[in-house]
């Protein structure tokens, strides 16, 4: 089965580098991701555009919009991206730069970092971004749930706040990154209610193969996640992603396979991503 990793990172972020060395034990560079993708039959990764203006600075107000993938001088051909938005830089220049980036075929969506930046999804600051998404018929991916920085504010990243934009902008497909974890049942209601809301299953675990196994064998750790998946009652609304380098690729694939009925593996790991991110079809 061919697999699309619809949520990963390839940016020069200090916390990602530290995690790769100290927690997940992955090789955070072109060689590392290319090897992992080859071994796991991952045919494409969608990188979430992200930059930090100073070491260990994210989330910071200095990064210009659009944020891209800057880990190395060149990005592997197996990776496309969603330009990231910094709401502090959505002036005329920032919006013009974002629109120019969206004209690149390898830009397959837009990423908004709720919780890291102190704006709700429905804040007027993002209205021009939604208009660009409509114009170019591109999806918007929202960070939701726990933030990978204690400087983030959780109230802005709660998945229930996405309901308003899903209703207001019916012609845009939205992706709730991380399924709003740990508020997955609230996230499930938003996905269930809105035909244009999807969720990716990235970042539910941070660590090594052993960490994944330990969590999976815990009698209660994933009860909230399984409850939410069942409540939504539509596995075709979910998309596989890893959040690499926070976890190695192959063990995470096996974990997601274990919580998704086999009949829907093709949808979760491949088909739904091609529908939500239509531009990726030319790279498959």
Give me the CATH number covering residue 207: 3.20.20.140
Task: Name the residue among 259, 248, 169, 165 with its Cα closest to residue 210.
Answer: 248
Residue 95's alpha-carbon distances to 65, 115, 116, 118, 122, in angstroms, are 7, 21, 20, 19, 18
**Which pLDDT value is given to residue 54?**
75
Bridge partners, 245 (sequence order): none
Backbone angles phi, psi at 42, to 5 degrees: -85, 120
Q: What's the confidence (pLDDT) of residue 56?
A: 64
Q: Which domain holds residue 259?
A: 3-283
**Rounded distance between C-alpha atoms, residue 190 and residue 23, angstroms:** 32
Q: What are the residues whose beta carbons fall under 8 Å from the beta carbon of 245, sequence distance 6 or more?
A: 9, 16, 19, 20, 24, 26, 28, 32
Whether the pTM exceeds 0.75: the reply is: yes
- What's the domain count of the chain? 1
Residue of 133, 150, 131, 152 whose CA lies nearest to 141? 133
Low-confidence ranges of the chain (pLDDT < 50): none
Burial 136-147 (b: 16+ CB within 10 A, else e): eebbbbbbbbbb
- Among residues 119, 121, 117, the alpha carbon closest in space to that of 130 is found at 121
Quote the CA–CA distance of 80 and 107 in Å, as a whole number.
Answer: 6
Label residue 192 exposed, middle or buried (CB < 10 Å: 0-12, 13-18, 19+): middle
């Amino acid at each position: 089965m061919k697999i699309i990793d619809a949520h990963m990172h390839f940016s020069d972020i200090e916390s990602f580098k530290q995690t790769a060395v100290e927690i997940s034990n992955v090789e955070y560079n072109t060689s590392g991701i290319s090897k992992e993708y080859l071994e796991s039959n991952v045919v494409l990764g969608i990188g979430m555009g992200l930059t930090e203006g100073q070491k260990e600075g994210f989330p910071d107000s200095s990064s210009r919009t659009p944020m891209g993938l800057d880990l190395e001088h060149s990005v592997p051909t197996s990776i496309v991206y969603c330009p990231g938005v910094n709401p502090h830089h959505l002036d005329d220049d920032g919006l013009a730069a974002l629109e120019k980036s969206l004209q690149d075929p390898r830009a397959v969506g837009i990423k908004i970092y709720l919780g890291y930046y102190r704006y709700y999804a429905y804040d007027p600051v993002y209205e021009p971004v939604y208009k660009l998404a409509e114009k170019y018929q591109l999806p918007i991916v929202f960070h939701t749930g726990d933030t990978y920085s204690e400087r983030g504010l959780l109230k802005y990243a709660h998945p229930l706040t996405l309901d308003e934009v899903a209703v207001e902008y019916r012609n845009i497909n939205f992706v709730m990154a991380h399924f709003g974890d740990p508020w997955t049942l609230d996230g499930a209601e938003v996905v269930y209610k809105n035909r244009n809301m999807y969720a990716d299953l990235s970042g539910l675990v941070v660590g090594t193969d052993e960490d994944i196994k330990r969590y999976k064998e815990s009698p209660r750790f994933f009860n909230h996640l399984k409850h939410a998946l069942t409540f939504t009652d539509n596995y075709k609304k979910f998309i596989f992603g890893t959040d690499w380098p926070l976890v190695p690729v192959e063990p995470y694939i096996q974990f997601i396979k274990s919580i998704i009925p086999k009949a829907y593996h093709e949808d979760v790991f491949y088909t739904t991503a091609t529908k939500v991110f239509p531009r990726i079809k030319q790279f498959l």
